[in-house]
Structure 1
């Protein structure tokens, strides 16, 4: 990946060198042709005799021809320059986009490597401890619980990676059925409470809210939002999950009490691989796929997602989804 980025940069530098050479050559040829035109005009004027009939008319014709040639050179030069400039802008944007994507992939691979190695190492250490040492029941349960948490992390990561490749396929089709969204959200919250018993997760879920969609995809989207709130909140902070129905619209809100998201980054957080700040040096775990997948899943369900500031600190992710009664 690093060599690919270096190769793209080298091609980019070579391209700008050749572009500079072409523009310089274009200017040189324009100057040369213009000088040649002026010299040809001077030579023709020198061949005229002032006392011959029609001298003034011939001078006018020669000068007019010179002006036409000069205008032709200017027009052709300007046309070539604009074409070159348009091509340069197009290539510049394409290469910059490719470089940005390559950098995001680099950050993703670094984060992915960390995300995979950490739970594997923790699970291996816990299992080796259980195998080699005689522990009391409390200690055994604690190690087993930690191992299950890391296994769930691996499972979520694998689901996100597989879904990311599937959802971008033109042949991707989601299932659609009437589901109890209240049950999905409640199950997700309860699962996180079990996985993170030390975290304060509040749930305000209105019962029996139904929508049409894919149960598994909506479960993944909800898990990603809650997981994101936990990742970017202090351990002592509260994460609040609210689900309610208002005028045939389902509103899901996940509130955290973290540092929040700057206004200029609120839309970027839903881009693929994007993470606030430098993904390579970030302390919070993640690959930059969670919010991207959440947005894509909600798009499949004709739903909207937005992020606003939480007061006094943190962020609120709000999902607006059509209820089953509205679709019917």
Structure 2
């Protein structure tokens, strides 16, 4: 049975068996070390008993036998310590590799559960809205509202599928990266206007310095900015302000996305960029997501020789900063 399908009880049993076998191997190593030392001492005693006391070279032979016995004891100690260290290093490596594999498998399983829900929800909503439009003659305002909701869900579905496909291609080296002159300011203005249209009930503010350009892949840069804004929307209260800034720094263009959510603990600030990683317990987490958005942000910034880091927003929330 693959490791990712093992329940926690079986993992605990496997861990217990692992530690039992490890201690058994170490105990066996010490047992044979003691036995070899005893055998060495017995052989030395037998050789000493065979010596003749009035032999002119008696003392030289005694010294030779005791020296050889001491040398073998030293050899046994050296070999024992070497095997012991090899066993410990191997045991630690195997244990960490298995635990890491289990964590990755668990994250992948959580991802599959999340992606199933994330895919079904927009499809179900869009289907329901279209069926409502088909079966009922609604007022123009209600029709436009349903159409707007359907577009939001299809945009959400499009973003989700893009994240999955691009993540897979970037991870496998199958994405053909292009470098072209991009008007970052125009792209940012257009994207923020689209987000305001898609989410009319959310508060957006943006500041974009005109004329800022970079060399990069247009699709990846769009996904980068979109994921940052989408992340701010997910983790901010509905009345919270989402700010986007594109400013010029001495090093180059800098993107700053600020939200007023719960914030990210310091110990989690680096972990959130890992693939499939999400803060909190997967079983009780309510925020939608797959754990790919920020991973893609990190990957895309690295591919564009840029950096991304998180700072605390004042008085609450998070601030994502990308420096090109």
TM-score with structure 2 setting the length: 0.92
Matching residue within 240, 243, 254 for 1:240: 243
Aligned pairs for 1:91-106 within 5 A: 91-106=94-109
Instruction: Check if 1:159 corresponds to 2:166.
Output: no
Worse-matched range after superposition: 46-55 or 232-241: 46-55
Q: What does 1:123-142 correspond to in 2, within 5 Å?
A: 123-142=126-145
Shift of 1:27: 1.4
CA deviation vs aligned residue, 1:296-327 (integer Å, no higher than 9, x gap): 11111111111100001011101111xxxxxx
- 1:298 aligns with 301
Matched, 1:196 2:199: yes
Range moving further from structure 2, 192-201 or 277-286: 277-286
Tell me the equivalent position of 1:21: 24
Deviates more, 1:209-218 or 1:312-321: 209-218
* 1:249 equivalenced with 2:252 (yes/no): yes
Corresponding residue of 1:326: none
Is residue 287 of structure 1 aligned with residue 300 of structure 2? no
Report the alpha carbon displacement of residue 49 of structure 1 after superposing the two structures with TM.
Answer: 4.4
Aligned counterpart in structure 1 of residue 114 of structure 2, from 111, 115, 132 = 111
Give distance in 2, aligned partners of 1:226 and 1:306: 15
Q: Is the 8 A contact 1:188 1:223 kept in 2?
A: yes
Look up the SS of the partner of 2:78 in the other structure: helix
How much does 1:17 deviate? Answer: 4.0
What is the correspondence of 1:30-179 to structure 2 with a 5 Å cutoff?
30-179=33-182
Cα offset, 1:28, TM superposition: 1.4
Structure 2: how far apart are the matches of 1:120 and 1:284?
18
Report the TM-score, using the length of structure 1 for normalisation: 0.91
Secondary structure of 1:311's counterpart equals coil
Structure 2 residue corresponding to 1:184, chosen from 187, 195, 209? 187
Shift of 1:24: 2.2
CA distance in 2, matches of 1:63, 1:87: 36
What does residue 220 of structure 2 align with?
A: 217
> In the TM superposition, what is the alpha-carbon distance from 1:3 to its structure 2 partner?
5.6
In the alignment, structure 1 segments of 5+ residues that lack a partner are: 322-328
Distance (whole Å) between structure 2 residues aligned to residue 24 and residue 269 of structure 1: 42
Cα distance, 1:225 vs structure 2: 0.3
Matches of 2:2 and 2:129 in 1, distance apart?
35
Closer, same or farther: CA 296–58 of 1 in aligned 2, 3 Å: same
Superposition deviation, residue 131 in structure 1: 2.5
Provide Cα deviations, 1:63-122, integer angstroms capped at 9, x if missing partner: 222111111111111111222222222222221221111111112112111111211221
Instruction: Measure the CA separation in 2 of the matches of 1:4 and 1:258.
Output: 33
**For the residues of structure 1 that align with 2:67 and 2:119, how far apart are their CA atoms?**
77
Paired residues of 2:3 and 2:102 also in contact (CA < 8 A): no
Q: Return the structure number with greater relative CO, CA threshold 8 A, min gap 6.
A: 1
Alpha carbons 2:307, 2:322 under 8 Å: kept: yes
CA-CA distance at 1:248 after TM superposition: 5.8
1:159 and 1:149 map into 2 onto residues whose CA distance is 15
The number of residues matched between the two structures is: 321
Matched residues in 2 for 1:4 and 1:248: separation? 44
Structure 2 counterpart SS, 1:168: helix
- Confirm or deny that 1:265 pairs with 2:268: yes
Contact 1:12 1:95 in 2 (8 A): no
Q: SS of the residue aligned with 1:317?
A: strand
Contact 1:130 1:140 in 2 (8 A): yes
